[in-house]
A and B are shown apart, each in its own frame.
Chain A
Amino acid sequence: MSHDGHHSVVIPAPGPEFVPHTVAHHFDTPVQEFQSAKLGFWLFLATEILLFGGLFAAYFYYHDLYPETFRVGGQQLDWKLGAVNTSVLLLSSWTMAMGVRSAQTSQKQKTMLFCALTVLGAVIFMVIKFFEYKAKTEHGLFVFPHMFDNYQVDGSSNAGSLAWFTDVHNVMVDETGAPLLHGHLFFAIYVTMTAIHGLHVIIGAGLILWIMKGVAKGRFHAGYYLPVDLVGLYWHLVDLIWIFLFPLLYLVP
């Protein structure tokens, strides 16, 4: 224990199906621990905003530079699948918020249920994503499976040949049929943004599964629900990013 005789603070369990929580020794009160963790997590979310923000900056930059490419590129994406995915994430945000609320009110079963539903939402989202990526790959607009193929540079024409952009159905053309300038760029940005977002969906689902383990052990209740709260915030961030990704990538007039 600590040298000055200061004993750690323990938050008692509100019922037999829960366990008590010991406040970390360098904090004086549970409130200090709660507020410190929350502030730290909001700071972390701020860094995520800036990380993704860089990608959005690149999107706006090239959208301005190559408007036709981005218009036609956006039309290649299935907006209906995108809308379904948006709704799935919004619903999963609702289930997550309900899950945090259940932890706050010491309802163990409900917390488990809402967390499980949130993970289900994540799975549905990734499955839809998989089918989207598969379709684009078949149309030759896309990165996989030639991602690592050799990249040749034709010195004379100063243009590069991209192994992965084959545009099988010749969709990235303007009204005269001439190929759009740098048609691959829209899809490169699309893949980068949605793949990094998808990675965050998977991480979020993993975090929620970890929370569910803790819920089962009775660690989270009205006296201490901090980890559920923080993972919830992370999940809402994942939803937030998609709220902006969906119209930018999928919806073109």
Chain B
Amino acid sequence: MGHHHVSSSAMFTNVLIVLLILTAVTVIASRIDFGPANMLIAMLIASVKASLVILFFMHMKWDTAINKIVFLSSFLFLSLLFIFTLADQATRRIDHPMHATKAKVSKEWAYPKPAMSEKH
């Protein structure tokens, strides 16, 4: 039938505990302002959690090479979508000054219908 690796219950439980701890870490880290690195740190912690789920819960650590390549390549090609669209957006302000400013608008202009609050 071919060798099928059966994980131990203890291994699954240990992974769960680490995942729950990392969730707490994510919440705590979000309370601290690292400036522009905020997003990066949050994503890094999430990536560690994701790796644990993929490697252990989804059994990828003991799976065939082709299955690993298939799943990981989806992230690789997705990153191309991220990189090019974000780079386009980010570099537009070099071309056109209007992309660099974010003008404030009044609520009436943005949502011209009877408002429900008396603030304006």
Do A and B share a direct contact in the complex (Cβ within 8 angstroms)? yes
Whether A49 contacts B74 by the Cβ 8 Å rule is: yes
Whether A57 contacts B81 by the Cβ 8 Å rule is: yes
> Does A2 sit at the interface, judged by CB under 8 A?
no
The residue among B9, B43, B50, B111 with the most chain A CB atoms within 10 A of its own CB is B111
User: What's the nearest-Cβ distance from chain A to residue B29, in Å?
Assistant: 8
Q: Which of chain B's residues have a CB closer than 8 A to the CB of A43?
A: 70
> Does A1 sit at the interface, judged by CB under 8 A?
no
What sequence of 0s and 1s flags, for each residue 89-107 of chain A, a beta carbon within 8 Å of any chain B beta carbon?
0110110111001001100
Whether B67 contacts A39 by the Cβ 8 Å rule is: yes
Cα distance A35–B1 in the bound complex, in angstroms:
11
- Residues of A at under 8 Å CB distance from B? 11, 30-31, 34-35, 38-39, 42-43, 45-47, 49-50, 53-54, 56-57, 60-61, 63-66, 68, 79, 83, 86-87, 90-91, 93-94, 96-98, 101, 104-105, 140, 154, 157, 159, 161-162, 165-170, 174, 176-179, 181-183, 223, 232-233, 236, 239-240, 243-244, 246-248, 251-253
What sequence of 0s and 1s flags, for each residue 35-59 of chain B, a beta carbon within 8 Å of any chain A beta carbon?
0001100110110011001101110
A38-B67, A179-B105, A251-B30 known; 7 other A-B pairs, CB under 8 Å?
A: A45-B71, A57-B85, A79-B30, A94-B15, A96-B57, A179-B106, A223-B1
Q: Which of B4, B27, B34 contacts A104 (CB 8 A)?
A: B4
- Can you report 5 A-B residue pairs in the complex whose CB atoms are below 8 A from each other? A46-B73, A50-B78, A57-B86, A178-B107, A236-B54
Whether B112 contacts A83 by the Cβ 8 Å rule is: no
Whether B75 contacts A49 by the Cβ 8 Å rule is: yes
Q: Which of chain B's residues have a CB closer than 8 A to the CB of A178?
A: 104-107
User: What's the nearest-Cβ distance from chain B to residue A8, in Å?
Assistant: 16
User: What's the nearest-Cβ distance from chain B to residue A60, in Å?
Assistant: 6
Whether A42 contacts B26 by the Cβ 8 Å rule is: no
Whether B1 contacts A94 by the Cβ 8 Å rule is: no
Q: Which of chain A's residues have a CB closer than 8 A to the CB of B16?
A: 90-91, 93-94
What sequence of 0s and 1s flags, for each residue 87-117 of chain B, a beta carbon within 8 Å of any chain A beta carbon?
0011000000000001111110111110111
Whether B42 contacts A93 by the Cβ 8 Å rule is: no
User: What's the nearest-Cβ distance from chain B to residue A174, in Å?
Assistant: 7
Q: Which of A65, A97, A104, A247 contacts B46 (CB 8 A)?
A: A247
Q: Which of B1, B32, B54 contacts A240 (CB 8 A)?
A: B54
A253 touching B74 in the complex, CB below 8 Å, given contacts A64-B89, A174-B104, A182-B110: no
Cα distance A245–B12 in the bound complex, in angstroms:
23
